[in-house]
Each structure stands twice: as C-alpha cells, then as structure tokens.
Amino acid sequence: MLILATDTSGKHGSIALARGNPDGSCEVIEVVPLSGGTFSALLVPQIAALLGKHGFHKEDIGAFAVASGPGSFTGLRVGLAAIKALAEVLQKPIAAVSLLEVLAVAASRRRQVFAALDAGRNEVYLGEYDVTDSSARLINERLVTRPEMAALAGGTTIMTPDKSVADAARVQGCQVEEIERPHSDAIARLGWKKILCGDTVSPEALEANYIRRSDAEIFSKSGS
C-alpha cells in the first residue's frame, strides 16, 4: 500500500512517500524536506511533485500518516487541513501519530519511558509510555516545567532530541537517551503499524494534539 506521510509540527517539516507491506515492514521511497514558514504555500505542490517524480497519482495513495503534534499551532493546522482534504476526496484512512510516541518507540530497550520535546517558555511536552516490541501504550501526555519533568520521570529514562531538555534533565539527575528528531519517514513507519491494526481516523475526526492551549485561548481566558 502506498502511504503519504507529513510532518509540519516544527520549524522545518517533511513529506515522505512509503510502501507498507503486509508483514508490517514499511519501505520509505523518498523524504522531501519542507522549509518552515512556507508550509501553506509549498505542502500541496510538493506532494504533487513527489508523487509525479515516482510515477504515482494521488489516486494511488492507499492511506495517510500525519504528525498530529505536539508542536507549532500554525504548522499543525496547515498540515492537518491538507491531509483532511486529500483523505476526504480519496476516501482513504488516516493514521494520526504523536511525535512523543515516535520518540518513545525509538527507545533502545523496551520498557516504560518518558518522551520529551522542548515546548519553550522553560516548559516541556512530556509523554509517558509503556513500550513493548509491538506497540507503545500511552499512559499520559502533558505540558510540564523542566523541574516537574525531572520529578515525574524519577529513575525512568527520558527520550529526547532536544539538547536543552537533555541537559536540564541530566542536571537534575535523570537518565537521558538523546536521539535524532523524528521526520516524516518515522511518521510513515509508525503510521503503517497503526493502519494495519485499524487504528485510524476519518478526515472529520482528525484533530491536532496541541497539548498546550494557544496564546489566543490563554489570553481570552485570562481576560474573561
């Protein structure tokens, strides 16, 4: 099955074209980077160009995998809106993938782990997962301060691609495993596992996993 995966959660994003196999493996055909701040202008044309380069049409897409967050509010809205529109037209399933889950399944040993991403403002997106060879079971995802992250993680390993988060965790005595920041190829692989298990959503049910409220919501709440 041909899978189109997108990640527009951060300053830089990417698109991946992959082929999912019945045995659960996922062959990545190509990954195309996207420059931050240009997602709304480039995402759909880049998808069309990537399909055309490999001799495919949009009708050949069998399923979609999309990074649902956490991350940039604007970036996530743009990426999810494009996938919603394509999936609705083509009537194909969508696998929504949390970036924190991608980090968790990258753990070198299978166990309970914490996945962490820098959220700015001295805060961290923190996901707690029970990871096995076949899946990562979500315990919870939340927004915490860096001291709170250390207190919650305790002696459990923290998986993160962000050096500032890793350094803060180590200073507070946490075990840390630094890994590469996930891209759309990782979204495609984990998305394919979800698709095989039937863990998909319809276009109208696809929502961003912001974890943190937007500034507009925060200021609106404080002013009411």
Question: How many DSSP H helices and E strands does the chain contain?
Answer: 7, 10
Instruction: List, run by run, the mean pLDDT of 10-residue segments along the chain (224 residues).
Output: 95 94 95 81 92 97 96 91 96 96 82 92 94 82 94 89 94 91 94 95 93 48 43
- Non-local (6+) Cβ contacts of 186 within 8 A are 102, 106
Q: What pLDDT is attached to residue 36?
A: 66
pLDDT value for 70: 95
What's the pLDDT at 25?
Answer: 94
**Nearest CA-CA partner of 172 in 147, 193, 198:** 147
Pairing relationship of beta strands 61-69 and 26-34 according to DSSP bridges: unpaired
Residue 215: what pLDDT? Answer: 40
Beta-bridged to residue 129, according to DSSP, are 113, 138
Domains observed in the chain: 2-98+182-223 (3.30.420.40), 107-178 (3.30.420.40)
Position of tokens 């037209």?
89
CA atoms within 13 A on the CB side of 57: 2
